[in-house]
Amino acid sequence: MEWLNAVLQGILLGGLYALLAAGLSLMFGVMRIVNLAHGALAILAAYLGVVLSQNFGIPAFATLIVILPVMFGLGWVLQMTLLNKSLVRGGLAPILVTFGLAVVLIQLFQEIFSADFKSIQAGSIATNSIVINDQIAIGVFPLLTFVVGVAVIVALQLFLSRTRSGRAMRATSDDKDAAQLMGINNRRIYALATAIALTTVGLAGVFLGIRTQFNPTYGDVTLVFAFEAVIIGGLGSLWGTLVGGMVLGIAQTLGSQINPAYGILIGHLVFLAILVFRPTGLLPKAVNS
Amino acid sequence: MTTDAVALENVKVSRSTKSSWAGLFVGVVVVLILATAPYVVGRGLQQNLVILFSLIVLGTMWNLLAGYGGMVSIGQQAYIGIGAYGLVVCGDIIGLDPFVSVALAVVIAGVISFPITFVAFRLSGGYFAIGTWVIAEVLRLIVMQVDVLGGGSGITFQAMSESMSPGRRIAYVYWLSLVAVVIAIAVTYLLMRSRLGLGFTAIRDDSVAAGSLGVRVVRSRRLVFVVSAMGCALGGAMIAASTLRVEPESLFSVQWSAFMIFIVVIGGIGTIEGPIVGAIIFFALQQWLSDLGTWYLVILGVLAIVITLYLPKGVWGLISGNGRIRLFPVGYTLKNPLEKYSLAGRAKKDIA
């Protein structure tokens, strides 16, 4: 029963990881950019949540009304300025620029918010749980996070397959020169992709901030977990990212069940094992570099 | 046609330039002057110079990996940690001579990094970067579980402080660090001048094309990765011998990779001089802004982003006039008595 409970909690945790990883997956899928500032940006949203709820008295979930548009705008501006420029430079530039951005953001958080742990207070919803029997209880908030994670993946998938902008994004991803000849403005498509990615990051950051106590270094941890979810699931596949998040979540909760100190380590080891034995991930999709 | 033939007969391929002979001379003089420091300056300055030297070694090794091998790693702290812990294990736990321990720690890092390449090389680009980081995290989490190594709280390096006076110890560590700088630069220089070096340059520019021309891409990358790991371990051993305190959280910190990246990007990626210039700039800012906490990292990060986007050859590129001055020439220069001959002029720029 304990183990079943650990698996259940792992699946729910996987929902958070999938939510965190969706933006990373989208940006890589469209532009082949691995955004190393991804985790730091999620923590930026979490700190925005703390400031808005503590200093302005806005209820935790209502902060999303402010944070999501801010992150959307930030994504657009980021792509139009730094990232498009780094793509033109090519080579190592996108990696170096996003890594530099991550370090700058995390150091700024240290200076502004200190290394103390903070969290977004959401009241009883963060602590309530649905008791199934005396050993299994499902937290309302982790369940909500999972549902939102799945919903974001489904929404992104529908957006890419059904809408005009989504089609343009896939076309740009397949062949950016041909897409441009067909009248697609790559720079704007990239900006839209990053804006959407950062919106999901904003959502993920606020949920992370409600769920756990975090400090600036969580920017690093978040990036690593999101990355592992993407690779375990298979590059370029959003459904894969969801599965990858769940596998990582289960590995971590089962590891913690063995010994609380082993959770994260076993998550990493499962990731490395998949890299060695199934390098294309669990749900691979052909990716042309 | 005949004029071309005459011109080509007179063309000489040279591997050195006037600036490189001057550079070698100045380099030897600087190293000799620096070698006298323990007799001239106090312990505080020596210890500061050890920090600067370790930054030069680490920057040079990261540059070898990224600037020549085309691999951006943010997990080199793995080998810094192995170097530091290797020194403590060999020196204190096994009880070997401290200097033998440093050499052994470097070898251990090389041996551990070899199988790691088989995992890390499954990834490329940005994912390779995060993959190396995960591997460093795994090492950190494992070391934290080992009680002999002090677990999460770390361990103190005692062999050197027990067997010699503080002044003597600091002087030895200083000389060791100076030798490490010379070794790191010399190894990079010789590696890049060798036949392999030409292959590396081809790989960096286009790995697929290089492969189709017969360059053994994966094998070359593996060699660079292992050498870089050994160099980072040397840096780690220097840091441990200097600070005497080895803690998993600080030695396996991703911050080291941030330092290395900033040093190389600001100094000038893909040149041997760049990381030296970058390390001096980094060290100067770190000392100058030390009262302001970590703001120096914010400034360096912004600087690194701006330089990546607008000045890809870095500060050394500015100083050297985009590569006209070369202290460590790894390329080939054509010397033609008919300087107007246009191909030679262009080739000078291209074959670098």
Which of residues 260 through 289 in chain B touch A, CB cutoff 8 A? 261-262, 265, 269
Contact A36 B262 (CB under 8 A): no
What is the mean predicted confidence (pLDDT) over A103-112?
94
pLDDT above 50: residue B344: no
Domain ranges of chain B: 41-254
Of B130, B134, B301, the CB nearest to A103: B301
Contact A231 B262 (CB under 8 A): no
Contact B134 A98 (CB under 8 A): no
Is the domain covering A2-277 a CATH 3.30.70 domain? Answer: no
Vertex A135: Cα angle to A132 and A140 (nearest 5): 50
Chain A residue with Cα closest to B143: A265
* pLDDT score, position B37: 86
How far apart are alpha carbons B244 and A94 in whole angstroms?
A: 38
* pLDDT score, position B1: 46
Contacts of B75 (CB under 8 A, 6+ apart): B120, B129, B131, B132, B133, B134, B135, B136, B254, B257
pLDDT digits (tens, 9 = 90+) for B126-162: 889 999 999 999 999 999 998 888 888 888 888 887 7
Domain ranges of chain A: 2-277
Does A80 lie at the interface with B, CB-CB under 8 angstroms? no
* pLDDT score, position B205: 76
Contact B308 A86 (CB under 8 A): yes
Does B110 lie at the interface with A, CB-CB under 8 angstroms? no
Vertex A26: Cα angle to A25 and A32 (nearest 5): 80
How far apart are alpha carbons A38 and A20 in whole angstroms?
A: 9
**Chain B nearest CA to A1, separation (Å):** 28
- Mean pLDDT check: name the lowest of A34-48, A59-73, A111-125, A200-214: A111-125
Contacts of B49 (CB under 8 A, 6+ apart): B34, B37, B174, B177
Token pair for B281:
């700039």
Chain A residue with Cα closest to B261: A96
Which of A242, A251, A258 lies closest to A274 in space, CA to CA? A251
Q: Are A213 and A116 spatial neighbours (Cβ–Cβ below 8 Å)? A: no
Contact A96 B304 (CB under 8 A): yes
Chain A residue with Cα closest to B152: A261
Q: Is B324 exposed, middle or buried (0-12, 13-18, 19+ CB in 10 A)?
A: exposed
Please tell me whether residue A192 adopts helix, strand or coil conformation. Answer: helix
* pLDDT score, position B346: 46
Residue B348: pLDDT band with limits 50, 70, 90: very low
Name, of A125-134, B104-113, B211-220, the range with top average pLDDT: B104-113
* pLDDT score, position B63: 94
* pLDDT score, position A181: 87
Residue B342: pLDDT band with limits 50, 70, 90: very low
How would you classify the pairing of strands B12-14 and B155-156?
unpaired
CA-to-CA dists, residue B43 to A268, B8, B84, B167, B173, angstroms:
42, 57, 22, 7, 11
Q: How many other CB atoms are there within 10 angstroms of residue A29's CB atom?
A: 24
Q: Find chain B residues with C-beta within 8 A of A33's C-beta.
A: 126
- Mean pLDDT check: name the lowest of A88-97, B24-33, B193-202, B320-329: B320-329
Chain A residue with Cα closest to B75: A224
- Report the amino acid identity of residue B134: V
How far apart are alpha carbons A94 and B83 in whole angstroms?
A: 30
